[in-house]
Amino acid sequence: MSGPDLIDRLALAAEGLVAQLAATPGAEPLPAPDMLAQARAAGTLRRPLTWRNTIFATPQWRRAHVELFVLPGELGVLHLCAFPWLDAALPILGFDVILGREKATGCFLDLSPTVPDAAPLIADWAALRGAVPGLPRALPDWAAVFSPQAVAVRPRDAAEVAAGLALGAATLAWLLATPPACNPDRAVMREAQAGYVAAQRRNQHTRRMLANCVGEPLAETFIAECLFPEPPADRLAAAA
């Protein structure tokens, strides 16, 4: 596998996810921070980076965030996380592909539990997706918020990277086309999303990587305000 070729493929996959969201009926772009500009202004940009963040709201998803983070010659990360509105019985979508200098280091994909009415969607997704190629990856303790059907593999070659990227895109398309059951217990939904956010914020690997590139204060700001912000109290608060 060639590192630059894989990074190019990652960038194209990020563009594809953004295009899927943009084409969704009723989708609206949400403000996304220019973290590179903030790091330059603060004088904390320590490494040359490509860093793009795009966020959409749709009628079913209050916040769908696509991130492309590239440290040239060393690291490439494609991240997608989508949180449903509190009144839509959907799981949380999380998708990450991480590439190193010469090989892929991980492909992670899950529809994470929220309210009971969302559980059938998780089961249907697991039944439809088929086997996912790659070497199994152990998940950290904080990943207990994931479903038992979560994908966690290390792709062994470019074909397995392509398979992981295709599965992520197909999962997003399937969810965008799936009408959810509505009006679940909003308190339960908010608690599930808050628990997911709290777990993800425990990921010290992400925190260290970002801090090494843009400094600890901006890394913490990005994690808390863009990567995994707290869920709103209700739909009106989220739309404000």
pLDDT by position in tens, the chain (length 240): 445 678 889 999 999 999 999 999 999 999 999 999 999 999 999 989 999 999 999 999 999 999 999 999 889 999 999 999 999 999 999 999 999 887 899 999 999 999 999 999 999 999 998 888 999 999 999 999 999 999 999 999 999 999 999 999 999 999 999 888 787 899 999 999 999 999 999 999 999 999 999 999 999 999 999 999 999 987 644 444
> Which residue type sits at 50?
T
- Quote the tokens at residue 182: 């509505």
What secondary structure letter does DSSP report for 140?
P
CATH of the domain at 182: 3.40.1500.20
If one counts the domains in the chain, the total is 1
Q: Bridge partners of 95? A: 80, 109
Sheet containing strand 135-136, strands side by side? 28-30, 50-57, 61-71, 75-84, 92-99, 104-112, 151-154, 135-136
Q: Write out the residue range of the structural domain in which residue 41 sits.
A: 3-239
